[in-house]
Amino acid sequence: MMNNIAIYGAGGLGREVACLLKAINQVKPTWNFIGFFDDGCPDMTNNPYGILIGNLESANTYPDRLAIVMAIASSNILEDLTPKITNKHIYFPNIIAPNVLLFDDDNIEYGYGNVLGFGVRISCGVKFGNFNLLNGCTSIGHDVEIGNYNIMQPDTRISGETIIGNSNFFGARSLILQRLKIGNHTRIGAGSVVIHNTKDRMSYFGNPAKKIEQYNNK
């Protein structure tokens, strides 16, 4: 029996997640996709992947058991929104693309609500918190610890024994060298190479990455 699932977020990322669910079903029928929740997208007539079934209020009053995937590429919005989904019928599965390369699935720990996109590569001894988004071809080295609400854009590279806190944003093709600590609410610019520990609520850009400004997440 296939499980009902909806996507929260009807933009480009939401459509990509719909493609991901379709790819999972082609390997093993798992998910019955029923549509999108979105709080700011009233017109869904041009979305070929599904219908708009409501907003936050609709999600919180949904009467039946339902899985939801959070397709939101902002760590701040994700961190603010997910605690507001309080419906006891809703749960947040980990969604893993069929072609994700797992070095040792038995040696990887997951929280819930994580999305591992197409082409992601995960080494051994990796620990995930909740609601992390790993976009296409992200690579995670050995013994990395990842907190909650982190967004990794395509081709992000996290080297081994790195510790990542909460609500960080990693731009496309950014690289974090080994044994570093990335704190909380940090933004790493696209193509940047981080060679030192970062400070909370700061932005970094360049090769090597330099601190450029304070990042206010409110």
**C-alpha distances out from residue 145 to 54, 60, 217, Å:** 35, 31, 23
Q: Choose among 118, 90, 89: nearest CA to 17.
A: 118
Q: H/E element holding 176?
A: strand 175-176
Q: What kind of architecture, by CATH, is found in domain 96-214? A: 3 Solenoid (2.160)
CA dist 46 and 85 (Å) reads 27
For 87-111, the pLDDT digits (tens) are 999 999 999 999 999 999 999 999 9
Look at residue 84 and give its three-state secondary structure.
helix
Contact 90, 70 (CB under 8 A): no
Q: Where are the domains of the chain?
A: 3-93, 96-214
pLDDT beyond 80 at 80? yes
Q: Choose among 86, 89, 37: nearest CA to 63.
A: 89
Residue 141, pLDDT score: 97
Average pLDDT, rounded, for the chain: 94
Residue 41, pLDDT score: 72
- Residue 140 β-bridge partners: 122, 158
Q: Which two tokens stand for residue 136?
A: 């296409």
One-character DSSP codes across 76-144: HHHHHHGGG---TTEE---EE-TT-EES-GGG-B--SS-EE-TT-EE-SS-EE-SS-EE-TT-EE-TT-
Domain 3-93: give its CATH code. Answer: 3.40.50.20
Quote the pTM value.
0.93
Kind of pairing, strands 187-188 and 202-206?
parallel
For the chain, how are helix, strand and coil distributed in percent, rounded to 5?
15, 30, 55
Confidence grade of residue 44 (pLDDT, cut at 50, 70, 90): low
CA angle 182, 188, 193 (to 5 degrees): 85
Rounded to an integer, what is the distance from CA 144 to the centroid of its chain?
16
Confidence grade of residue 1 (pLDDT, cut at 50, 70, 90): confident
